[in-house]
Structure 1
Amino acid sequence: MTQITSLFVTRLYRAALSEHGKPIDVGELETSCYSIAEDDEAGQEWCEENGYPGYTSYASLTDLGWRFPIFADLVKALDKHVAAFAKDLEFDLDGKELKLEDIWINILPEGGTHSSHIHPHSVISGTTYVAMPEGASALKLEDPRSARMMAAPARKKDAREEMRSFIYVAPAVGDVLLWESWLRHEVPMNMSEEERISVSFNYNWG
């Protein structure tokens, strides 16, 4: 009897940020993101020098949890989401916890993109969404086997989700998405006239 099974699954965690911990006021979080961006001259300079559209605090700030209490609340909630995802992934953490490595703000204007990348040296990466106007880009996730497919034909347009080479996830404000840090992903062009705001982060172990 023929049997076909799925092996080596790639997991994606999606939940409302409010499912764990103190409810987060997304409006206050948005205001805090703009306030930090306005004051972060080093971050503004880095974005200009590196051709980054909009603003990111990735290369300039490491203390968001200290700057505004709402970021401290956010980290507490993210810790619980990451712990839940790690449990689902059945990691053997040897009695240790995954800990926040870095957290940063992304403000992407109309026409802005973030090219395909991974997050080396981390275990779990993710993003929570602060402002997603209509037309703002989804998150694009790439099948990690793509480089090994060689002469494989393209998938059908209506292929089952788990068989597709790329998955587009359209998060809502207040969502948190988590994935293992080796999973290649990108943010396609923001087609909205308004800015797309998110807060991204990495967790490591050991």
Structure 2
Amino acid sequence: MPLQSLFITQLLRDSFANAPDWAELNADLEAACMQVAEDDEAGQQWCEDNGYDGYTSYASLNDLENRANAFADLKAKLDLKAAEFAQASHMDIGNAKWEMDSFWINILNPLAAHSGHIHPHSVISGTYYVKTPEGAGALKLEDPRLPMMMNAPSPNKNAPLSAKRFVYEKPEPGTVMMWESWLRHEVTPNMGEDLRISISFNYSLV
């Protein structure tokens, strides 16, 4: 049939795990995340006050790349990947430049989750996955048109990924995912028996 796909929502999913230096970098990232979580008393207090089951540096630190070489090395890789994503998404940014304006650690305890949200004031958002134990929560992405669908029938069981209302991406260590910041997403409960560790980020234009 003469159908066209309109208004595409892009998701970048790639992996750094094939790079020769990845295993060492990822081990350094895990150690650095745990050390920051232990030292960051303000972040610990924020998590306690806000019911975050685990640890996040989102509300307490804005200098992660200066705290360990591993974070700086990861940022350099993410900067290149963000530029690739923007180009593949046909973003016309004129003379502006990309800036990673936030960069933070997420450590979720077993059974912990992160409810649905967007990232206001940013253009590109994403996550790099350091540790994903068996049963760790998936990234759940929501069709941005959902509030306007009203009586639209649900897609059938055989519908392609592009026609689904919700998409569940199960990351592995080394996985990096990026999407436009207006895309609503959440982390499903960590059903594993170990910590789920990731590092998230936002990019804006300057």
TM range (shorter): over 0.9
- The 5 Å alignment of 1:141-160 reads 141-160=141-160
Contact 1:111/1:190, CA 8 A, preserved across alignment: yes
Structure 2: how far apart are the matches of 1:49 and 1:157? 42
Identity rate, percent:
52
Residue 134 of structure 1 aligns to a residue whose secondary structure is: coil
The 3 A distance-change label for structure 1 pair 60 and 122 is same
Structure 2: how far apart are the matches of 1:27 and 1:46? 26
Gapped regions of structure 2 (runs ≥ 5): none
Residue 28 of structure 2 aligns to a residue whose secondary structure is: helix
The 3 A distance-change label for structure 1 pair 84 and 9 is same
Contact 1:124/1:203, CA 8 A, preserved across alignment: yes
Encode CA deviations 1:13-65: one digit per residue, 9 max, x unaligned: 01113678974610110010000000000000000000011000000000111
Structure 2: how far apart are the matches of 1:69 and 1:126? 20
Which amino acid in the other structure matches residue 50 of structure 2? N
Moved more, 95-104 or 44-53: 95-104
Q: Which residue of 2 aligns with 1:5?
A: 4
Match status 1:105 vs 2:105: yes
CA shift, 1:183, in A, is 0.3
Moved more, 157-166 or 139-148: 157-166
Structure 2: how far apart are the matches of 1:159 and 1:77? 34
Moved more, 150-159 or 122-131: 150-159
Which amino acid in the other structure matches residue 16 of structure 1? S
Using structure 2 for the length normalisation, give the TM-score: 0.95
Which amino acid in the other structure matches residue 8 of structure 2? V
Q: Which residue of 1 aligns with 2:76?
A: 76
Aligned length: 205
Encode CA deviations 1:64-122: one digit per residue, 9 max, x unaligned: 11111111111111100000001101111112221101000000011100000000010
State the superposition RMSD in angstroms: 1.5
Using structure 1 for the length normalisation, give the TM-score: 0.95
Which amino acid in the other structure matches residue 3 of structure 1? P
Gapped regions of structure 1 (runs ≥ 5): none
Structure 1: how far apart are the matches of 2:87 and 2:16? 17
Q: Which residue of 2 aligns with 1:179?
A: 179
Residue 3 of structure 2 aligns to a residue whose secondary structure is: coil
Over 6 Å off, 4+ runs: 19-22
Q: Which residue of 2 aligns with 1:122?
A: 122
Residue 176 of structure 2 aligns to a residue whose secondary structure is: strand
Contact 2:139/2:187, CA 8 A, preserved across alignment: yes
Structure 2: how far apart are the matches of 1:183 and 1:125? 9
Contact 1:21/1:76, CA 8 A, preserved across alignment: no
Match status 1:36 vs 2:12: no
CA shift, 1:164, in A, is 0.4
Residue 25 of structure 1 aligns to a residue whose secondary structure is: helix
Which amino acid in the other structure matches residue 100 of structure 2? L
